[in-house]
Amino acid sequence: MSRKPIVAIVGRPNVGKSTFVNRLIGHRNSIVDDRPGVTRDRIYFDVEWQNKFFTVIDTGGIIPGDEDDIMLSIFDQAKIACEEADKIIFLVDGKDGINPIDYDIANILRQSDKPVFLAVNKLDNPESHMMINDFYALAIGEPLGISALHGSGGVGDLLDLITEGFERDDENKEDDDETIKIAIVGRPNAGKSSIVNALLNENRVIVSDISGTTRDSIDSNIKFNDRDFVIVDTAGIRKKSKVDYGIEKFAVDRAIRSIRDCDVALLVIDATEGISDQDKKISSIIVEAGKGLIIAINKWDLIEDKKSNTINQFDKKLALEIPFLEFAPKIYISAKTKQRLNKIFETAEEVYSQCTKRVSTGLLNSVVKELYALNPPTSVKGKKLKLLYATQAGIKPPTFVLFANNVNLLKEHYKRYIENKLREAFGFFGTPIRISVRERSEKGKK
């Protein structure tokens, strides 16, 4: 697939950039709030207009000259977005009129060799269009009035201008390829964004000691050993009681949705703090969603006096604290030193192959027959469970249906036994397994 053209959207805080992005992509994806500075990182979305496909970058609101660390980082992100972009949309607020910050941003954009399109937003009624002419003072081209909130005004005209020269290409539509989507999840400050930046070798997402810096889930494309991956950095998931209603709640919801949309989840644990109850809850979300799972113990460089068996000891501790995640591979990494970071891709590829593994019906039934003979279930009130037939019903996660004489006789401990034996026989390394049972009379046995 050829590279899609890239369009960056820049402007000062609270001019409606994320609302405009949501209008372009057709649903509420970027976080929208009345408070400035909600979008902090640059977020990438695929957009289609008149059968032309391009990527739009939503950036944080920038204030040139602001010395606040976070604002400086946002400014850097916006500059990188402009460097990456083929075209730039400079969004201003038509309701408030020209702001001194708009002049500063215009001065910066004039130094760029990229085409810049000035869009005057929030012209939500005919009377407000009288404000457009004022924006000629920015000396950055003809202003075009739009209403991102209502999709009215010149939104279509703006998109026609933006996509002029972009090729029509039906092949740019998302295809069913073998790209593996990895969601980086965990508690705040476990080092998720640092891992993403280290993998990409660039400051793609803002890294800060301030808890909750990442608000949106951020997709990044990367190729490793000729395999395409999408890395999704997510907001840190805190306990519900500690999550503020509004922006943070929406960000946490987005992180959970990213888990549901991914192929493999990388659960990042801070090696200096060990596994917490919140880590266990996050892992439960991953397992319930049926996603591949890798446990990444980050900040391994900070563990002092490591010996040859330190990892083994940590493995044993994890096995005691999270025995239900015994199937998940553990990797010990350091985002700071880049220790073992390539193992993330290698392990994700292995896990994905296990998530998509299929077992032939004949071989599956041979294993089920053997495990039943080795350890037949105990009778319940004189009745005994008989497993008549088994089949694999699906993948991602591997899903099996057992046909039995009585569904009530299959107890949880025996289902766990079946799962363990299936793993012994077929691997299913790093993936949950689904086992369901259906009732069938012995006459109906295949």
The string of pLDDT tens digits covering residues 113-136 is: 889 999 999 987 776 677 788 999
Pairing between β-strand 116-121 and β-strand 144-147 as defined by DSSP bridges: parallel
pLDDT attached to residue 342:
92
Whether the pLDDT of residue 246 is over 80: the answer is no
Across 283-290, average pLDDT: 88
Regarding pTM above 0.75, the answer is: no
Residue 31 scores a pLDDT above 60: no
- On whether the CB atoms of residues 59 and 78 are closer than 8 A, the answer is yes
Lowest mean pLDDT among 168-177, 326-335, 431-440: 168-177
Per-residue pLDDT tens digits for 80-97: 667 778 999 999 999 889
Q: Check pLDDT > 50 for residue 208.
A: no
Q: What pLDDT was estimated at residue 44?
A: 65
pLDDT of residue 119: 93
- State yes or no: pLDDT of 153 exceeds 90: no
Residue 391, pLDDT score: 95
Can you tell me the distance from the alpha carbon of 202 to that of 213, in angstroms, rounded to the nearest whole number? Answer: 17
C-alpha dist (Å) from residue 227 to 120, 181, 379, 391, 409: 42, 11, 50, 31, 45
Q: What residues have CB less than 8 Å from 100, skipping those under 6 apart?
A: none
Residue 414 pLDDT greater than 60, yes or no: yes
d(CA 98, CA 33): 21
pLDDT for residue 111: 80
Average pLDDT taken over every residue of the chain: 80
Is pLDDT at 206 greater than 80 in this prediction? no
Query: pLDDT above 70 covers what percent of the chain?
Result: 77
Q: How confident is the model at residue 171 (pLDDT cuts 50, 70, 90)?
A: very low
pLDDT of residue 292: 97
Nearest to 24 by CA among 58, 72, 1, 62: 58
